[in-house]
Structure 1
Amino acid sequence: MSIPIQYYINAFQQLFFPHICCGCGADYLKDNQFICASCMHMLPETHFLDKTGNPIDKIFEGRIPVTAAGAGFYFYKSGLVQHLIAQLKYHQNKEAGKFLGRCLGRQLIATSRFNSVDLLMPLPLHPKKEFQRGYNQAALICEGIKEVWPKPICTKAISRLIYTQTQTQGNRISRWKNMENAFWVVDPAYIKNKHILLIDDVITTGASLEACGNAILSVPGTKLSIVTAAYTV
């Protein structure tokens, strides 16, 4: 039995241009896969998006009027999701953001809580930080969402005014104080009378999302929902 020429082409490509799983390094992926089936099965979904009163809703309860909120996956120390987000934020792996976005998009499609969303908005980075990183990781997540849930992406309405260092070591109160007046409305026409879905990679205290959400809600007629790729437990 003759072996198809495509077999040799695929073998050559895999030898010199290996396509490996971003999670475990396995090399038995299809061309359109980012992680292998085993790693995909290990992703710790929260199942929050379709539940009112979930832990992400409660973060903002009594602080800012959020229509719906949720997170796609749990963020565990040394876990697969932490690895993917580290790849996205610190190792120039843009595809990790788009992959997480596609996962979120499929979860958003499966629930009716976000049906009235008009625009996707990545949490803005300060221009200095975006220049240092080369991109806004939240914007890449939005691009992934849009691939499976075709909503317009808005990046021109809100800007980050204050540069802050990473807040992973700060407590809840210090994070909120650091974010006071950190965002401002550049052009309200983009979001007036729109339901905005604000997107970020990970949520802990929600201080940055709350500050940006307040700027969004200062524009007449806006509604706010919030979704992140991961939730720190």
Structure 2
Amino acid sequence: MAKITKKRKEVVAKLEKDKVYSLQEASTLIKEISNAKFDASVDLAVRLGVDPRKANQMVRGVVSLPHGTGKDVKVLALVTPDKEAEAKEAGADFVGLDEYLDKIKGGWTDVDVIITMPSVMGKLGPLGRVLGPRGLMPNPKTGTVTMDVAKAVTEVKAGKIDFKVDKTGIVHASIGKASFSADKIEDNANELLTTLMKLKPTASKGIYVKSIYMSSTMSPSIAIDTKIG
């Protein structure tokens, strides 16, 4: 059996066994139990009462976190020459088209989000096997396929994230950093949870939000009261 370190014991001791915390309590506690030597990400895992295998119970959406994610999001704008200046001014890290399509074909995917235009989507089809599994394929539903490239880039840089329920019925999302104040963590978490509540499928019966857990990189999870909103 693996030995529990002294630091780990101190962290676990701060958590009350079987207690379900309020969102405010969890946002404060997560800072106390995050002892990584780097600025750990704070994540939410929300288990929903849906069957993702059924199209009418798929939960997917976007949310603009009021305080951003704390992460420097690397954005690739795949645009035609007339849109390049617009994308660069908005803060895109990489801007271009054919040269980046060739790089992706060669296996390059060192970006977090790809934004493109409707007219370019046809060129991205053959790259689905590379981009799809990495969650990088642009999608009109998440605002990453648009003619308003500048707005899309600005929103992503400011903290707009997209989420999707996985095959086990769980939505995972990063909502900030351990260095954030407890108030900012709570605000971001509340924004995501409120958005999820609005996306409840009409075909979903029974309890919609079954469990909510907050954790940071390398920290234990904190159970959060599902009575939200």
| TM score, norm. by length of structure 1 | 0.22
| TM score, norm. by length of structure 2 | 0.22
